[in-house]
A and B are shown apart, each in its own frame.
Chain A
Amino acid sequence: MYRPGRILAWSAGLTALLVAVVIVSAALGPVRIDPVTVSLAALNMLQVPTGLEWRVTTAFPISGSLRYPGLRYAPVFAFDVPETSQTIVGDVRLPRIALAATVGFGLAAAGTVMQGFFRNPLADPSIIGVSTGAAAGAVAAIAFPALVPFGGLHLSAFVGALLTAFAVYAIATEGGRTPVATLLLAGVAVQAFLGAMISYMLVHSGENLRQAVIWMMGHLHASNWVDVQFALPFALVGVGLLAAFTRDMNVLLLGETEASQLGVDVERTKLILLVIATIVTAAGVAVAGVIGFVGLVVPHMMRLIVGPDHRILLPTSALAGASFLVLTDTIARAGPAEVPVGIVTAALGAPFFLFLLKKREVHAV
């Protein structure tokens, strides 16, 4: 009836692929490092929690510093690796790769959910305005740092994304029902409005224009472990929660009336899926900017390979999305001049999508 073996086999295979892609990616760069050294250096970065400690945040400059409890970590391995290699791999390349994997993982999973949810092959995580909302938040923080009540760029983007998704959902909901078509159209309208706001802010952003434009193109440049620590919990917990709803997502593909007659509480399930997918997307976009096509193309690709059943489609899409973004970001930084990764994903993703379109494979969600 249900073949957990197939899901495990695919997931294991794609995890192995991800590990391989990560090692190759960490080996490449201005300084070439052999894969064994890379692997050892990466293992040296592994840490386990050993206790609790108090941390201080500076994310809220107005309220002053905030103390919060956190876990104390200790390294597991201590392989002998040259110090420069350890620094390059552990402090420069790995955070960026880990962030790419995290963001790709989350965006592809959210894209899978949105395509199933909207029963629309063109749906992607940003269809209800999450990315545009994040962009508005980020551009506001970049262009008018003084006007944004909280300092952090990530937080500003994250809050912008959530507020936008919430607004779209609230606009589209009437009498306890949220028709998917209304949601889609409300998303388009709100995105258009936010687009105008963003353009206005860009015009008046002065010397910050370049930074804002780079952010909007999607970038993993200068990422650090703090970014990973921000995005990873959202991605892992979010996708884990979504995995509990894969059977409901399958039934929802039959349409809302039929799903309801098969025992799915349609409005509640829609809200849960939308909230989780939005948070996962917002977390990814907040740290990496607007990276298109991962959430659109990867689920389609995996649907062709493993079929439309969300029980296998969701985990495989998430893992494939992680590999895809690590790979495209490696290409983005491998050239003589680094380009924002969003350019590479779109440049690779769009032709691939057109190829699928010509093969008529994208019509069946």
Chain B
Amino acid sequence: MSEQRDIQYHAHDPLVTVEAVDLAYDSLTVLEDVSFAIDRGSFVGLIGPNGAGKTSLVHALAGGRAPAVSGRITVDGQAMQALSARASSRLVSVVPQDTALSFSFPVRRIVEMGRHPHRSRFSPPSSDDQALVDRALERTRTAQFADRSIDEISGGERQRVLFARALAQDTPLMLLDEPTASLDINHQIETLELARDLTADGRTIVAAIHDLELAARYCDRLIILANGTVQADGEPESVLTAPALEDAFDAETVVGRNPVTGRPTVTAVSTGEREAQASRLSDRSVHVIGGGAGGATVLERVATTGAKTSVGPVSSDSIVTQRAQTLPSECLTTEPFAPVSDALRRAVLERCQNADVVIVADAVVTAGNQLLFEELDPEMEMVIVETTPFSRRNFAGTGATETYRSIRERAVEATPAGVVDAVERCCIGASGKSTRESSDRSPPETTTDD
């Protein structure tokens, strides 16, 4: 393909340059002073709140006349807004969100439309056209329903057909406009993985993506559009920070790290909720017993409300330990695979005693830590979070099952997402109980005013 020759030839030039670009619909300016360059073979995500101009920028990159573009956009050295539709559609293809396909064209005809900009008005399709269409159908796994009508297939399949059409268009730059907005999670991942594979072949992809976590997971680089311009631009890890997201989305978020993919995760919290919780929990202390991803998530959620947290016992190489270091959280660790020492057990029990609430989150019970669970004070306020059944976390035999059941009976159950609410309820309960039963724990005076 000539395209591959080009890639080698200009390997060091950026494929796309956007220089001081303003986008406007009539008198309404959508984006102002946008500048960036995109290297060949990269996968760039455009993120930002609704109405930030992601789709407008996609249209402008494709050489469209609406919105009006001032400034300069080039693809492969060509000024896009000066090109004819035919010339620009040989450089840039677009996978739309959905399409006005409400008529019964066979899937193959739709994919063939991708060859439209390459064909002359009168000549029949070349064998090249044919081969590219076949390859696009295979690559997107749409070949098996190539002869079915576009209005008979599912939304996910339609999305793949549109992808195949853009692929058949065989352009160095592919733009995806919210390609996953109407898809379920497995199709979202499938679509983005296909896109990532294409960048491995030297194609360049720019995708407007709604889902921040998917964007972080698949893109090499994220550009946040907000407040009428580029708010942040860089690798996902450097761009997806709570302050940057708060600026862009006007919502508070908790940014963590996905334990499986190692990419950033973003959890939005409404500002009011978060402030209210923070003010109620900021002078509370919480101890978390638990490990693994579940324990890490719970610890992060509680710690980001401002509560004083401690966690343990955990192995020094555990994900929880790593997470605790990024949070203001005390971590009581053991060496990997070592049993819990008497001193450590006493230290943990002391933290539990001093804490307002103890959270048991997906705790793994072993012969080495079984004693700890037996010695937990039954009068403590406890929240239990379970995402895997206890039988799979019990390595200490049936005696441990009995101990765990008695803990579960007196604890408040919560999901990982609801753990902060559960902690809050316990604190209110504890303060009520403390006045009634004059418990030896002394809650701060302020809470009795609540």
Contacts and interface: CB of A to CB of B under 8 A. Distances in A.
Contacts of A264: 85-86, 116
A334 interface: no
Contact of B104 (A4, A247, A248, A307): A307
Interface stretch (B33-41, B107-115, B243-251, B262-270): B107-115
Interface stretch (A181-189, A221-229, A250-258): A250-258
A197 B310 CA distance: 87
A1 interface: yes
A254 B95 CA distance: 12
A250 B100 contact: no
A203 interface: no
B125 A263 contact: no
A254 B101 CA distance: 6
A314 to B, nearest CB: 14
A266 B85 contact: yes
Given A119-B100, A261-B94, A364-B103, A4 B124 contact: yes
Contacts, number: 90
Interface string B91-135: 011101001111111001100111011110110110001100100
A266 B98 CA distance: 19
A263 B90 contact: yes
B122 to A, nearest CB: 7
A264 B115 CA distance: 12
Interface in A233-259: 244-245, 247-248, 250-251, 253-255, 257-258
Given A307-B104, A308-B104, A262 B114 contact: yes
Contacts of A34: none
B142 interface: no
Given A244-B122, A263-B86, A1 B133 contact: yes
Nearest to A304: B104
Contacts of B113: 250-251, 254, 262
A264 B121 CA distance: 11
A265 B125 contact: no
Nearest to A244: B121
B129 A257 contact: no
Given A4-B124, A247-B116, A251-B116, A261 B62 contact: yes
Contacts of A266: 85
B59 interface: yes
B8 interface: no
A1 B99 contact: no
B124 A263 contact: no
A365 interface: yes
A265 B85 contact: yes
Contact of A1 (B90, B121, B125): B125
A316 to B, nearest CB: 16
Given A1-B130, A258-B94, A309-B109, A263 B121 contact: no
A54 interface: no
A68 interface: no
A260 interface: yes
B64 interface: yes
A260 B84 CA distance: 9
Contacts of B125: 1-2
B297 interface: no
Contacts of A260: 62, 64-65, 85, 89
A1 B84 CA distance: 26
Interface string B157-169: 0000000010001
A247 B85 CA distance: 15
Contacts of A263: 85-86, 88-90, 116-118
B281 to A, nearest CB: 49
Given A250-B113, A261-B93, A255 B122 contact: no
Contacts of A1: 108, 112, 125, 129-130, 133
B105 A309 contact: yes
Interface of B: 59, 62, 64-66, 84-86, 88-90, 92-94, 96, 99-105, 108-109, 112-114, 116-119, 121-122, 124-125, 129-130, 133, 151, 165, 169
Given A1-B108, A308-B103, 15 more contacts: A1-B129, A2-B125, A245-B121, A247-B121, A251-B116, A257-B59, A257-B64, A260-B62, A261-B85, A262-B116, A262-B117, A262-B165, A309-B105, A364-B102, A364-B104
The 4 closest A-B pairs by CB, nearest first: A263-B117, A263-B89, A263-B86, A255-B100
